Structure 1
Amino acid sequence: MNKNKIALAAPLAAALLATAVTTATPAAADPGPWHSAWNASPQPPTHTDWFPNWSEEGFRDQSVRQVVRAGAQGGELRVRLTNAYGKTPLRLTGATVAKSAGGAAVRPETLRPLRFSGAGPVTVPAGGERASDAVALPVRAFEQLTVTLYFQGPTGPATFHNVAMATSYRAEGDHRRDAAGEAFSAPGGQSSSWYHLAGIDVSDPAAPGPRRSAVVTFGDSLTDGFGATPGADRRYSDALADRLADRGTPRPVLNAGIGGNKVLTDSPCFGESALNRFRRDALGRPDTGTVLVLEGTNDIVQPDGTQDRCTTGPRVTAQQIIAGYRELIREAHARGVRIVGGTIPPYGDSGYWTAHGEEVRDEVNRWIRTGGAYDAVVDFDRAVADPQDPRRLKTELAFADRLHLNDAGYRALADAVDLNTL
């Protein structure tokens, strides 16, 4: 599979887009009985000082317990595992799923083993994904589910999702059937990332719902929710799902954000570019009906900041970013998926602001608002900008770094979405 970096230094955007390839072919158009309830975009294993994790070391004779919020109801569920960036097959000794009792604890009466083609162990091929058999565990929308994976042998570096904004737990030995969380309380046993966990689907034959009901929020750390209260499910995707449910039109809202991600260029720390992962992460679920794009900040700010292995890359023009958006729009429309564009919020007063970056952001946002290429537009910029100085976030909505948002800021992003456009 070709995963070459997209060269941006000199060629026009049209030329660079001709070299862009996506990472995977979407699943079949018919989801069958399954509907997406939760997912995370996979990233290659890497260490970052700003968000330490266990991905490079992987696991050996360890249990990994991870908590997620289901976005849809069903009478049965299945868990999808990923080895997207594994160089060798991933061998899982066994796994369980249960309803969370808070922290690393689970409700014992809900604890269920996961099986794969009838067996407890499973091997996930390098670059592949495996779904568990159906598990009879009724799920309500917005319930927290806990998945515990036990790896007896060494896994090698782990495919993961860095900015989970939730706590995952690690314990020595096999603790997949533990209801209590004591084994996961040892020092060094907590992480703010997810590992080898791709998604959770639910099935409810009594209420199958529309075939393409899922909304995918696609983007960078503003979609990932960096700056929100950890473990509280206060990303803008969560708030958007709450709004849809409160209106009486519940739909799963799947978060496909990756912190630090760019539209145009790959990063060893922040994942493949939007161009290279859009088909897999935004269109890869067969029940995706609408994609909401909020991305471009890092294309602008990272080249203007201090360069390191994570942020290296040339300056880009507004026209190159816009050409990237046009490619995402083309991909979505080719698969009959509605695509909504979000304007880029301000970041004045942050350490990343430059006059050049502000010019690019203004030009990009003007095109999003007036270009007519998206099916609809959400003006995230104006929803969170200080009306007295539109280059800056409203103080009451800003996280400490003045680049990201707090809980109220992410709620403001969700409130800016006209639900009828979805």
Structure 2
Amino acid sequence: MKKWLKSIAVISGTAFLLTGCSLFNSEEDVVVMANLPIFEASYQPKVAWQKSVGNGVDKYYSQLQPAVDSDAIYAASREGKIKAFTLKEGELLWSNDFSEHESNQLNRSARFSGGITLAMDTLFIGTENAQVLAIDKNSGELKWLSSVSGEVLAKPAYANGKVVVHTSRGELIALDSQTGEQLWSLTNKQPNLTLRGSSTPSISQGGIIYGRADGFVSAALLETGQALWQLPIARPHGATELDRIVDVDMQPVISNGQIFALAYNGNLAAIDLLKGEQLWSTKYSGFNNITLSGNRLYLTDYRGWVYAVDRRTGDQIWVNEQLSYRNVTAVTVANEYLVVGDGEGYLHWINRDTGQFAAQQKIDSNGLYKEPVTTGTHLYLLSRSGKLIAIEKPSINVE
């Protein structure tokens, strides 16, 4: 079966992954969305509160995800509205609208896209207008706005006074977190055709780890942008440009000196952080983030299958195939459950030990596009139509 779902999202410029129709006019190439799973629920999730954040992201491709700290939950809409709410009650703390900021006079709106990063009492957010904004987390007021050399579709990263963004052109750029001044840039060659997305950088031990559109995972020095090493976890192959797409769009996971990364048309790999050497590799294909909990990696692939994998060996522990082509999000761990959203607006609760369904919630018929963020007591997720929803986590804690 052709793996063209997200590739079509690249060409069309929307976030909808096409289902139920064929690109090749051949019956065997038709991709059919799986029916909603039917099962006996063993858990009943409870919504704590719900608020509105503008018009959300609508049908556009977006990685716009809320940020949370001990004070508030911060969420934004694509057109430029950003709001802060209390965690438990959802009371509005402040609201601001950047849609008509003078820098957007030649654009349709602010076009927020890169998810919110929270650091040093500041919200950092990127846009499709090739901008990075720094916003005071206590007031919502703009601290600075900087233009960069490409769309910022991925969430910025922060460390040691630097904000690092990975643009749609494959460029890695470091900005001064206080002023927005560009400190350095690192350019990487882009393939002719890529997925519409970029890898959010991860920062550890003075190094930046990020995925590239050519199938490589790379490292660079945070201080100077000097390239350190690069390792391919996918190699282009196939007869067409679509077949040869090998983007590493997910944010690399770093733990105990190891990196875990996933490529489209490639592999799930464990990499030595300092040496850039591969420790193990297993055949998987995906573009969503992966989640590490204990000795397990949880991930969704391009088909919507959900997996548990042993982080030490790459061996598969279980797989759930019942969400095929439902345009699923990445996985969020909620104590004894895993939580996955889908394009029809359902939130699926899965037993993390067995991979079996435990609960199901209809959140928003307009769809879900990004996994929830979590605190010790709640999950927070933003729907396509701009609904910000707080859901209570189960009380049992799994180590």
Higher relative contact order (CA 8 A, sep 6+): 1
Does TM, scored on the shorter chain, surpass 0.5? no
TM bucket normalised to smaller:
under 0.3
Q: Which structure's residues are more often helix, by fraction?
A: 1
TM-score normalised by the chain length of structure 2: 0.26
